[in-house]
Structure 1
């Protein structure tokens, strides 16, 4: 990094450091962001295409779920990574709408590039985008319709909208039914409405059968079998002890040796160990438990003793399963067996070990008003099961978002067209050069509807003109039916999305775009060389990241 005083260059960065300044830096980041947007754009909508992702081990994932695609991609360019963070935020906050958020961020960058070419300063563009985003939130709120947890038909429509276009589209009815049932079961009533912790809905997958064979367990499903073949396979009217301690003889705190001089002493020692384990089992029996779920190990002798008593036991259950079991059965997780009492026991109508797709699983069901449930997802192949799980998770997330916010908006591009038109009108009232950025924001929002039309094989210009015309006639719910190409009332057609998806996509997409366009200097240290054939080797530029890539294309893609 030379500077001139009397012609003498001064170097303050190491010679291996790469640097891009001014417009070059902005263009590189904008191009990288646009590439990420274009990667997932074709997956948008019910007619979106799928992507095949092959990792370095040769494992294949086929999906059109934006979050999964971006998560699996190996990206090196910092600008691209900032756009991928939009998807991560959207997934964490709402659980769906990642493609919409990323495409919006990419289109905002595309519009910003045109404004920069026209000599508009990046600070003015950022200011205009922020103003437009704040106004967009207001317009979306005004556009929203009320929904409540009792409106099952509307909730199913929300779920179906989220799942349409996925590989398991033929099974959306069964999956949306499961999603609504599960969310309604775990929802908690509050003063403001309802809250839904989707972590309380466990999803287990098994190959075999079809997706329609998927079912909900009114309780919990644990991917474990009973620890001893002598134990009963089925317990009715189960009283469940949830134990978070090892049912084994405690080891000494320090390293120590026990010296045994004759067989009698050894027998006494073994008898003492057995007595300790028998006391544990007696305490469990005395509390009234006929089922034990242990988070840690269970000694062989304890297993045998429990089998003699007709107690069903599972060991090494996951911590998350223990928490869900407590919520499902009304039990308390106990860390000391001495403290176990009948009040700590959870209750279930039935505990049974069943073989599913050749593997044993424990079903804990018929719980009274469980606040944690499990869904068993089936499917003909591994890829179908994985995609069904991703699809169902999206459905659960959008149902939960609708229940929590209590508001939904029309899908099919209706919200985007209405929002674009309202922001264009707002731009007329904004003075100065910011008005250009506000109008550019409106164009970026409209491009999401344009992408929906393109992915359905329709003429995007004709459809956008028709949509605008219908909206001007006060048809705020008019959107695009991707199947027959006609403009219809989306609320009547049941194409509905949670308000939260749109508001979060606008805020996170705008924040990422403004952050990227305000960067005018990228200083990149030399990257460490990857070993031959190592991760990131294909497509990665030697020594680093930014330079050397044609047109600023991110490495590793």
Structure 2
């Protein structure tokens, strides 16, 4: 009996299932920091006007060529959980501002790298986190201090051009920047910009210079009937969210027909219903119809006879943009359609673009939704032009909303580092070292800009530090290879880009540093190896 009890006591106690990998303490920290560093290093080479592009090929063989930070991170098949947390930083940056995604991730990676040196000095992770938090808070105050108030058209153009420099569309950045500024100013309401109201329609063919802004909406559809007019001037537009078809009965019904004439009457009745629908539309004065649902062949015929241009199965988002652009109301029942519900446009025309028919709703009076048609010689070029336009829209919107800008070219980072070092001296205890590390980490941005431009990063940094004794707006002109005043050079960025990048990089680094235990389930349980299984957490190198 005693022997049995002794044997029972010696059995190992299994809390976690087999195959579970567990990393504790320094192992967990090193592994997570390594993941962050590798991710930062991966996209570092894309930073700045002289940054290089990445070619990403997915499992289906589809290719993306880009140097847009968030696109690279979304397309990469990242498996390491700590690396995934940094991808979230890029996504937040994209949603909040639309630019600065590479900056945010590179900065987070560098903060982790500097933290590793402090961990080697036996400084507790919590102290590093607290130091980083203080530094990030102080950095926001410094940014407020060095921000310049401006939102005139020239500033907006420079901001848009800065965001596009280094992207594939750089050679056409001036005309594209002008399109973006016009578009953003057009949809601005009460000092706020809803970026969803600027539609980007892309078509390969032509060059980036051929991109155009339409004061209205482009719909990637064609007329439903060849007998309809191709062009309608002074368009009165009906927006319908109901099918122009004979309504099916709500419940299953059986109709018994005992006489062929009854069948004839039945068909005639259906035809009469369709006729009535079309008559209702035409009586309101509408000469263009956009329908979110289907349009019956018979309805198409009658609409064509009345000279109405109709389009069916228009996307919900496009219907909302049409409503914003033309001032029309979306109606869910044809019977309720009245002349007051109609939108107006100078003309609606079907044009052939790159071999496909598209409907242009243009010359709207005061459209609160506009469309930029992005062009480029190939599919990959036009996708990169689209990404550049999206970034530019984000930064121009941020400046219109905040009315604040900072110099570009690494100038704010050098100034932040300089003032944070002064601030560190006022903080006692080991947190001082963490604040200094934060200041050093910020200088990775000007360093990387210099490296990517083939300059000596140490010389560039020394020159920048010296220049900042005189002025806060001195930054790197990577084309000339020297330190110049960025405001005069026209290299400016929204205050919000820097604020968000510093904030989210610091928070992500803090979160990763505080992890001292990683428990990873076996991949089978996570759904055939998709989860954060042991493969993604290999000892030598995080899988990405």
Bucket of the pairwise TM-score, normalised by the shorter protein? over 0.9
Query: Is 2:542 the counterpart of 1:554?
Result: yes
Aligned residues: 537
Matches within 5 A, 1:490-505: 490-505=486-501
Is the CA contact 2:201–2:373 (under 8 Å) kept in the aligned structure 1? yes
Tell me which stretches of 4 or more aligned residues in structure 1 moved more than 3 Å.
Answer: 5-9, 543-547
1:509 and 2:490 are equivalent in the alignment: no
Q: What is the CA–CA distance in structure 1 between the aligned matches of 2:26 and 2:534, rounded to whole Å?
A: 21
- The separation in 1 between residues aligned to 2:172 and 2:289, in whole angstroms, is 37
Instruction: Report if the CA contact (8 A) 1:278-1:302 is conserved.
Output: yes
Provide, for residues 110-130 of structure 1, a one-character-per-residue CA deviation record: whole Å limited to 9, x for no partner. 011111110000000000000
Q: Is 1:393 paired with 2:381?
A: no
- Matches of 2:246 and 2:534, distance apart in 1: 55
**Alpha carbons 2:31, 2:539 under 8 Å: kept:** no
Report the alpha carbon displacement of residue 535 of structure 1 after superposing the two structures with TM.
8.8
Q: Secondary structure at the match of 1:196?
A: coil
TM-score normalised over the length of structure 1: 0.94
Which of 445, 449, 456 is 1:448 aligned to? 445
Instruction: Using the TM superposition, give the Cα deviation of residue 10 of structure 1 relative to its aligned residue in structure 2, in angstroms.
Output: 2.0
Secondary structure at the counterpart of residue 349 of structure 1:
strand
User: Which residue number corresponds to residue 264 of structure 2?
Assistant: 267
Q: Distance in 1 between matches of 2:526 and 2:429?
A: 50
CA distance in 1, matches of 2:263, 2:419: 86
* 1:17 Cα offset (Å): 0.8
Match of 2:428 among 412, 431, 436: 431
* CA distance in 2 between partners of 1:286 and 1:167 (Å): 50
- Which residue of structure 2 lines up, in the alignment, with residue 168 of structure 1? 169
Preserved CA contact (<8 Å) 1:112 1:125: yes
Q: Which residue is equivalent to 2:462?
A: 465
Q: Which residue of 2 aligns with 1:84?
A: 87
- Please name the residue that 2:252 is paired with: 255
**Alignment check: 8 A CA contact 1:75 1:554 kept:** no
Which one of 188, 199, 204 corresponds to residue 201 of structure 2? 204
Task: State yes or no: 1:487 paired with 2:483.
Answer: yes
Could you say what secondary structure the match of 1:511 adopts?
helix
Matched, 1:286 2:283: yes
Distance between the aligned counterparts of 2:159 and 2:276, measured in 1? 54
Give, in whole Å, the separation in 1 of the partners of 2:275 and 2:534: 63
SS in 2 for 1:545: helix
Return the alpha-carbon distance in structure 2 between the equivalents of residues 439 and 142 of structure 1.
Answer: 20
* 2:5 paired residue number: none
For 1:528, what is the secondary structure of its paired residue?
helix
Q: Is the 8 A contact 1:377 1:389 kept in 2?
A: yes
User: Is the 1:524–1:546 contact (alpha carbons within 8 Å) kept by the matching residues of 2?
Assistant: no
Is 1:525 aligned to residue 535 of structure 2? no
CA distance in structure 1 between the partners assigned to 2:17 and 2:375 by the alignment: 56
What secondary structure is seen at the aligned counterpart in 1 of 2:464?
helix
Tell me the SS of whatever aligns to 1:238. strand
Indicate whether 1:544 and 2:534 are aligned: yes
TM-score by length of 2: 0.96
Q: Does 1:106 align with 2:102?
A: no
1:258 positional shift: 2.3
Deviation at 1:255, TM superposition (A): 2.1
The structural deviation recorded for 1:250 is 0.8
Paired residues of 1:201 and 1:375 also in contact (CA < 8 A): yes
CA RMSD of aligned residues (A): 1.6
Q: How much does 1:256 deviate?
A: 2.4
CA–CA distance in structure 2, aligned partners of residues 400 and 289 of structure 1: 35
| Alpha-carbon distance in 2 for matches of 1:94, 1:432 | 36
Contact 1:205 1:378 in 2 (8 A): yes
Tell me the CA shift for residue 546 of structure 1: 4.8
From the superposition, tell whether residues 554 and 513 of structure 1 become closer, same or farther in structure 2 (CA, over 3 Å): same
Is 1:219 the counterpart of 2:216? The answer is yes
Q: 1:233 aligns with which of 226, 230, 233?
A: 230
Query: Could you say what secondary structure the match of 1:195 adopts?
Result: coil
Is 1:244 the equivalent of 2:247? no
Residues of 1 paired with 2:223 and 2:270: CA distance?
23
What are the superposed Cα offsets for residues 230-266 of structure 1, whole Å, 9 maximum, x if unpaired? 1111100000000001111111112223233332121
- Deviations along 1:52-101, one digit per CA (max 9) or x if unpaired, are 00000011111101011000010111010011110011011111100000
Who is 2:67 aligned against?
64
Shift of 1:16: 1.3
Identify unmatched segments of 5+ residues in structure 2.
Answer: 1-7
The offset of 1:286, in angstroms, is 1.3
Residue by residue, what CA displacement relative to the aligned partner does 1:320-377 show, whole Å, maximum 9, x if unpaired?
A: 0111111100010001111110110000010011111111000001100100000111
For residues 6-59 of structure 1, the C-alpha deviation after alignment (integer angstroms, 9 at most, x for no partner) is 866322111211100000000101100111111110000000011000000011
Mapping of residues 35-46 of structure 1, within 5 Å: 35-46=38-49
